[in-house]
Structure 1
Amino acid sequence: MLGLCLQVTAQKNYQKGQVVLTNRDTLKGWIDYRNWHINPTSIRFKQDSLADGARQFTTNDISFFQVAGDKYLKAFITKDMLPVDVNSLAADSTEMQQTETAFLRVLVEGPVLNLYEVYDFKPHYYIQDSTKSYHELTNKITLGVEHPLGDEHNPVGDEHIKMHVHDYYHGELMAYLLLQPKYDKKLARQIQTIGYTEKELGKVVAALNGVTGQNVPYVSNNRKKALSFYAGAGAIYSTLTFSGDNVYLKGMDFGWNTGPAIMAGVELFSDRSFRELSFRLEVAYSSISYKADNLLTRNSVGSDTIHYELKQRNITPSLIVLYHIIRREKFRYYIGAQFAYNLSSYPTNALTATHSYTTIVSKNDSYLSFDKNWPIVNIKTGAIINRRWDVGITGSLWGRNLNTSTMHNNVKQYALWLGYHFL
């Protein structure tokens, strides 16, 4: 595991793409695609996918590149650098701007407006109209001092600090709607309420382009974070062992038993930049039966033949943390930990003893007092293929549903799963 983790940073994910050099020549080949969360400052490119060496291009070398549905355009921009962290907000009058040449991710292209994104410590969204200049949509959060008017109880009035949200981008986008020959009231209401996000801004800009009656040439559909609902089925292989003072069950061999299982859940993951971690909330149902026989020899009175049978049904909610060792667009290999809590019922819990010295058969239908709620810790590994099919193996590290002063057990489970993600 340590060796695999150390190789993560060296992974390459070359996919077909093209670059446009600053002299306007176009090169087609393979780009090391990282599905960047923070906009890249350079890319690795090679024209032959089997070649060992790769060229590194920066904004000094290329003006545009495209790979795996993402478009990036070089532009000289001015960025607002005021912090957005509540604990670091600046005063109202503060100005913090920075100019740079950057690769802008293309979100929407159209006849009225183009929309771009740059992400560093916060998102910056730029629009470009027929003037071809880049204008950052203004969204600032600052702190200001307010002096409330006094009254008879407080003639002076106590000043206090208040957070101010300057969402000027609403008016900036509304100006383009007012220029259109047809005023869309529904779109106007949408502009006044949208948040400063890729998804909401992208919809509005695409709608503004559609007002002209022309088709919108390009709208990016890449997501940074997503929820994926999934469901699946599998088989559980399990055994258990007992320890303690119970002479009937101590040392009894239950072997490996198989039972069906189904599961469903939701996964929170990040498409952009192929983030290493994802999290799952899952609920599973399983059923497993154990049967075993034991021969107990008594020195003076012969022997007893023992038969024990246990059937267990589990509803298991769990939290799963996965580390993706291989992270590619259509293939991911992961390993992780699962923290589960079994809600169990035991429809069968019977011990039958046949004594050689008598014809009486003794049977106890509720022989042991198992825990109905008990935790279990698993490790999990598997692969996600074509973003939808999930093949995984789960194995228990620790699990126990019986623990008394005279007796306890150890439950071992392995499960093979096939799941499907509804994207």
Structure 2
Amino acid sequence: MRKLYLLFLVGLLIPFLSNAQSNYKPGYVVTPQGDTIKGFIDYREWDMTPDTIHFKKTIGDNNFVEYGPNNITFFNVDGLESYQRYEGPISTDATAPDQVGIDRDTSFTTAIVFFKVLEKGKKLALYSYKDKIKERFFMGEQPGYFPKELIFRVTRSNTEFTFRRQISAAVRKIGEWNEDLETIISKADYLGTDILDVFNRINHITKAEYNKSHPRAVGYQLFAGLGLDITNKLPDGQYQYTSTGRHTSVLPVISGGIDVFANPNTRRLLFRFELMIADGSYTANYYGTLKSFNITTFSLVPQVIYNIYNGNNLKLFGGVGLGLNDYVYEKGAYNPQSFDTTGMLQAGVQLHNQLELFAHYLQDGRGSADTQFGVKYLF
């Protein structure tokens, strides 16, 4: 089991060993003088709002320029995300239930940062900023659309939905108030989806219009696979002391499943749910008599996969998984098992977002192991 845990640990370290990998996408930056510079921006899995970006004028440049809010006022990754410079107050009170205090916290800091532009309509604009403390939303009114924070505060005894009153006041000011909209505002939570829905209604943007101007990549893909399963079983049970050596089976394995992307735009981190069906055939010497059996293994294998190299037409990946296995014996019996689990390590290469060449290594707690090689087709 120690070896199994070590394999999992190595697999979990894969993402941390590849932070330097770049992912340049077409885009542009705007300088403080108002000049627009087209080029390529290193688009990352930005769980938090980026402090700086890496920019190249041409994709083949060996060196990049690092830009922050002190150097540019705006940047856009074509078809994906836009950010603008902001200088002003930002709240610093915590809102996570396990971090809030008894007293009301109105603390803030003055910062120069980038804001993500979620929407900029005819009436209002919506921005977001996320750091280690929390995610905040900001509202901008035309004509200048200067961001003002939408306030949401939490204490151990109270929750303040101040942002609802702020939005409602803005709606009345611009002449868009109606009872239906007021009801929606009064039920909105401090979530990007809820607030964005309200702003779409205020700006008279339909869902179809918003989706057209903010296209989203597909968040999943289906796949089917075919490979060779080399199973190496260690005798135990009634054969433990009468059979010598390991017993090996080399037979096909088929699989299928679905990949769900953490960020559909980058497709770097994904969660795979794979159903595998593998056949095995073994012969054991039991007191001088050859005993044979056939077994079919059904496995559901949830996996976490990370593209260490994430090019447009070439990806190199590694991952870990946990196999949940059930067995059907077709002939004889060799230490019959019902349900057990196996740890998985894997690596491979993906070509043109359609073909995947893979290698799997699976091991259970009894010392038996499977090595699988094959190909998957991505739909």
Same fold (TM over 0.5): yes
Task: Bin the TM-score by the shorter chain.
Answer: 0.7 to 0.9
- Contact 1:381 1:392 survives alignment (8 Å): yes
**Is residue 62 of structure 2 the alignment partner of residue 62 of structure 1?**
no
Q: Hey, which of these two has a bigger chunk of strand by percent?
A: 1
Give the equivalent residue in structure 2 for 1:99: 110
Aligned match of 2:337 in 355, 371, 379? 371
Contact 1:90 1:142 survives alignment (8 Å): yes
Aligned to 2:368, the other structure's residue is in SS state: strand
- Using the TM superposition, name which of 383-392 and 55-64 deviates more: 383-392
1:414 aligns with 2:372: yes
How far residue 328 of structure 1 moved from its aligned partner, in angstroms, is: 5.8
Report 1:252-291 matches (<5 A): 256-264=249-257, 267=260, 269-270=262-263, 279-280=271-272, 282=273, 284-290=275-281
**Aligned Cα RMSD in Å?**
3.9
Q: Are residues 373 and 114 of structure 1, via their aligned partners in 2, closer, same or farther at CA, if it must alter by over 3 Å?
A: same
Q: Which amino acid in structure 2 is aligned with residue 116 of structure 1?
A: Y
CA contact (8 A) 2:283 2:293 kept: no
Aligned pair count reads: 363
Q: Given the two structures, how large is their TM-score scaled by the length of structure 2? A: 0.78
Alignment of 1:14-413 (within 5 A): 14-68=24-78, 69-121=80-132, 122-132=134-144, 133-143=146-156, 162=157, 164-178=158-172, 185-210=179-204, 220=214, 228=220, 230-241=222-233, 243=235, 250=243, 256-264=249-257, 267=260, 269-270=262-263, 279-280=271-272, 282=273, 284-290=275-281, 306=290, 308-327=291-310, 332-349=315-332, 367-383=333-349, 392-398=358-364, 400=366, 410-413=368-371
Looking at structure 1, the residues matched to 14 and 105 of structure 2 have their Cα atoms a distance apart, in angstroms, of 47
How big is each residue's C-alpha offset from its partner over 1:167-188, in whole Å with a ceiling of 9 and x where there is no partner? Answer: 1112222234445666555443
Structure 1 residues 125-153: Cα deviation after superposition (integer angstroms, max 9, x where no partner):
1111125232111111124xxxxxxxxxx
Asked whether the equivalents of residues 106 and 220 of structure 1 are also in contact (C-alpha less than 8 Å), the reply is no
**Amino acid corresponding to residue 378 of structure 1 in structure 2:** M
SS in 1 for 2:19: helix
Segments of structure 1 that go 5 or more residues without pairing to the other structure are 144-161, 298-303, 350-366, 401-408
2:67 & 2:210 partners in 1: Cα distance? 30
Gaps of 5+ in 2: 1-9
Q: Could you tell me how far 1:81 is from its partner in structure 2?
A: 0.9
Q: For 1:342 and 1:46, how far apart are their aligned partners in 2?
A: 49
SS in 2 for 1:189: helix
- 1:62 is paired with a residue whose SS is coil
Give the secondary-structure state (helix, strand or coil) at the position aligned to 1:343: strand
Shift of 1:338: 2.1
SS at structure 2 position matched to 1:195: coil
Q: CA shift at 1:41, angstroms?
A: 2.5
Letter in 2 for 1:344: Y
1:362 maps to which residue?
none
- Which is bigger in relative contact order (C-alpha 8 A, separation at least 6)? 2
Of 372-381 and 319-328, the range deviating more from structure 2: 319-328
Query: Is residue 124–residue 203 contact of structure 2 (8 Å, CA) maintained in 1?
Result: yes
CA drift at 1:255? 5.4
Distance 1:348 1:168, change over 3 A: same
Instruction: Name the residue aligned to 1:363.
Output: none
Letter in 1 for 2:142: S
User: Partner residue of 2:5?
Assistant: none
The answer to whether the Cα contact below 8 Å between 1:17 and 1:29 also exists between their aligned partners in 2 is yes
Alignment CA distance shift 1:130-1:90 (3 Å): same
State the percentage of identical aligned residues.
17
TM-score between both structures, scaled by the size of structure 1: 0.71
Q: CA deviation at 1:314?
A: 2.4
**Deviates most, 123-132 or 333-342:** 333-342
**Are 1:398 and 1:412, in contact at CA under 8 Å, matched by a contact in 2?**
no
Runs of 4 or more above 6 Å deviation: 1-6, 215-218, 272-275, 293-297, 385-389
TM superposition shift of 1:92: 4.2
User: Quick one: distance in 2 between partners of 1:167 and 1:273?
Assistant: 34
Shift of 1:25: 1.3
Query: 1:284 and 1:211 mapped to 2: Cα distance?
Result: 42
Cα distance change on mapping 1:253 and 1:104 into 2, 3 Å: closer
Partner Cα distance (2:311, 2:160) in 1? 39
SS of corresponding position for 1:9: coil
